[in-house]
Amino acid sequence: MTSKTLIKGGRIIDPAQGIDQISDLLMVDGLIEEINTSISKPRNAEIFNAEGLIVSPGFIDIHCHLREPGEEYKETIETGTAAAAAGGFTTVCAMPNTQPAMDNQSVVEYVLRKAKETALIRVFPIGAITIGRKGKQLSEMSELADLGVIGFSDDGDPVEDPNIMRQALGYSADLKLPIINHCEVPSLAEGASMNEGWVSNRLGLKGMPASAEEVMVARDISLAELTGGHVHIAHASTRGTIALIESAKATGIKVTCEVTPHHLTLTENAVMGHGKDDFQPLDNNAYDTNAKVNPPLRNKSDVNSMIESLNAGIIDFIATDHAPHSAVDKMTTFQDSSFGISVLETALGSLMTLVDKGQMEVNTLIKKLTSDPATFLGKNIGNLKNGTSGDITIFDPNATWTVDPQNFISKGKNTPLEGALLKGKIKATFFQGIKVY
């Protein structure tokens, strides 16, 4: 029997086709069949009333941590993808800092099998650059490429040795896959738990300077030029990083970058537990370990630079860096706490504050969550063209809600946004025509 879903009367925004209009959308057997101002209900079709709602391609997240195998107490592929679906995502790319790391065929095969068995949405694995993510010896990159990894990363750690990075970028050029680097010069960041600035001084915490990121970004750009490889800068967070990327792009070097929702909306003030910028402060909770993330939350000038460069197209897309941790990992001193924020379920609501304040068009936001990451992947997803997979996100841009991490589907309750009032709520997510949220 054929399955049909008719989404009626929503504002359909599909940046890939330049569509922004009130229309109906019909899915048949998991594929997009038609978009039209008025489609009459076919026999046996399910109807979804989307009046007052925005209908967009399913969001794509190039960077998240699903923790499986090895740290299933933090997250699993099943819980992480269910959380992603609740956040409007229909494709996620899983970082390889699992235990063991995704540095060989059997671990990647395990992840692919688990995804097939338990994931609600599409999962693409990312392979480790080096064995054990130790930065000493390259993984069997071409074997991993054969299994379908979408790129390589030692994320959580940088590739410190420039010669190893050079070799990895050489393979990148051959395999036509990006090297996704977590840029951080270890000796400049050693022992640091937040951004270096007035808040770190006030709180007596060791900070990492913007240069810890920028020095390695500059190095990687140089090595990309030398090798012809494609370097992708994970979670860009400083004004200086953007300047380097902008000039490298202008000279045709293969460099791309992403920014997270938190680096677009929060500053280091969140570590003080007050002045959470755009979000209502909950309390005066200094040393909030839920605001400890790497790269750290930066200052207002950096945040403004992130917003401007996303609008200007210098930043290629938004990625969550969803990094779920358990209570035990976070109920520690600030210094001892794990780095990371659980992001998937707050991404849209926090990003919509930029739209609400007139800092970003909703069409740009959707483009940066759909067609732009799809271009990076080189795959025919993230659009609503006829015949493509029925991956659709429906959200209410005006609905407000208060963040309560206890209601998260993710096992990671670690968010600095607890108690924040967000505007913009996911109403439904369809993956291959099936409602998964």
Query: Would you name the residues annotated as active-site residues?
Result: 321
In the region spanning residues 147 to 166, those forming contacts with Zn ion, defined by CB under 5 A, are 155
Cis preceding linkage at 158, omega within 30: no
SS3 track for 38-81: CCCCCCCEEEEECCCCEEEECEEEEEECCCCCCCCCCCCHHHHH
Joined tokens for residue 30: 């998991």
| CB nearer ligand DOR, residue 340 or residue 349 | 340
Q: How far is the CB of 321 from Zn ion (least distance, A)?
A: 4
In the region spanning residues 134 to 163, those forming contacts with ligand DOR, defined by CB under 6 A, are 155-156
CA distances from 435 to 45, 346, 394 (A): 14, 20, 11
Joined tokens for residue 291: 């605001």
Q: Which of 64, 156, 59, 62 has the alpha carbon at shortest distance from 412?
A: 64
Per DSSP, the three-state class of 428 is: strand
| CA–CA separation, 334 and 235 (whole Å) | 21
125 touching ligand DOR, by CB under 6 A: no
Q: How far is the CB of 233 from ligand DOR (least distance, A)?
A: 12
In the region spanning residues 315 to 334, those forming contacts with Zn ion, defined by CB under 5 A, are 321
| CB nearer ligand DOR, residue 23 or residue 289 | 289
Which listed range, 49-57, 158-166, 334-342, 412-420, lies at the site for ligand DOR (CB under 6 A)?
A: 334-342
CB 356 within 8 A of CB 423: yes
Q: How far is the CB of 156 from ligand DOR (least distance, A)?
A: 4
Among 4, 11, 182, 232, binds ligand DOR (CB under 6 A): 182
Would you say how long the chain is, in residues?
437
Which phi-psi region, left, alpha or beta, contains residue 169 (left: φ > 0; alpha: ψ -120 to 50)? Answer: alpha
294 touching ligand DOR, by CB under 6 A: yes
Q: How far is the CB of 155 from Zn ion (least distance, A)?
A: 4
| CB nearer Zn ion, residue 324 or residue 433 | 324
294 binds, options ligand DOR, Zn ion, none, Cβ within 5 to 8 A by partner type: ligand DOR
60 touching ligand DOR, by CB under 6 A: no
| CB nearer Zn ion, residue 99 or residue 407 | 99
Which listed range, 159-167, 208-216, 337-345, 394-402, lies at the site for ligand DOR (CB under 6 A)?
A: 337-345
| CB nearer Zn ion, residue 67 or residue 367 | 67
193 binds, options ligand DOR, Zn ion, none, Cβ within 5 to 8 A by partner type: none
Q: Is the dihedral of CA 119, 124, 130, 134 positive or negative?
A: negative
Strand partners, 152: 127, 179
The residue ranges that bind Zn ion (CB under 5 A) are 155, 321
